[in-house]
Amino acid sequence: MTRQPPVIPPYEKIVRDFLETRDTDLDAQAVVFNLDHTALDVLSTLEGIALRPHDLTHAGFVLLMTLWITGPRETRELAAALRVTKGAIVGAVDTLERRGLVERERSNVDRRLVAVRLTDRGTELIARVQKHWHALEREVTRDLSEREQRMLAALCRKVARSARRLRRDRANGTTATRLPDPERFMAAAEAPPVSTGR
């Protein structure tokens, strides 16, 4: 039985036909192109179905998930986990705090340090939303076998490591070097949170 060539959507074929005459590695281009489009399609779909009814953005969801998984974290740690500036985290925390989903606590050890923690209301919401989000994760990957799911996840991790290494190696002291490695953050998640005296 002969293998059928992969079906390439018309819009991707137009891009490939254009770039083919310009000394482009079409396989490398296809990987990045499809990672980008897949991420946009999946996130916009899941965000619209699972998050929007709860007035949550994807950034807010990730912030709540991070606190749910790791416990209270300092603002700078949350900025590292979400790969955004500390200012962006402050704004996101402000929004979630107004809704009663998180609260800030100043450290008794170092008054400059502020930990963010989930409230009971925040814990209840993220547990409910994550359950719905996961049901959608299962739906969006249902056409893949278990083996294919594991392979795709492994390949995505491999590309992400290459991207982080490239960014680090080519940064030359720019702000790109400050972007965090999520593996390091999550590996440190077992570290005790900042003391708040509670």
> What is the arithmetic mean of pLDDT over 108-123?
86
The answer to whether the predicted template modeling score (pTM) of the entire model surpasses 0.85 is no
Q: Is 129's pLDDT higher than 60? A: yes
Average pLDDT rounded to a whole number, residues 71-99: 89
Contact 129, 56 (CB under 8 A): yes
Tokens of 1: 């039985």
Burial class (CB in 10 A: 0-12, 13-18, 19+), 71: middle
- Domain positions in the chain are 25-143
Residues near 47 by beta carbon (within 8 Å), at least 6 away in sequence:
57, 58, 61
Question: How do residues 12-59 score in pLDDT, each as one tens digit?
Answer: 889 888 998 898 999 999 999 999 999 999 999 999 999 999 999 999
Pairing of strands 73-74, 114-118: antiparallel
User: Among all chains, which residue has been given the structure tokens 């700078």?
Assistant: 76
The percentage of residues in the chain with a pLDDT greater than 70, rounded to a whole number, is 81
Distance CA 94, CA 90 (A): 6
The pLDDT score that the predictor gives to residue 184 is: 57
Confidence of residue 177 (pLDDT cuts 50, 70, 90): very low
C-alpha dist (Å) from residue 87 to 95, 96, 107, 110, 147: 13, 14, 19, 20, 41
The residue that leads in pLDDT, 3 or 13, is 13
Architecture of domain 25-143: Orthogonal Bundle (1.10)
Instruction: Give the angle 39-44-137 at the CA atoms, nearest 5°.
Output: 70
Work out whether strand 73-74 and strand 102-106 pair parallel, antiparallel, or are unpaired: unpaired
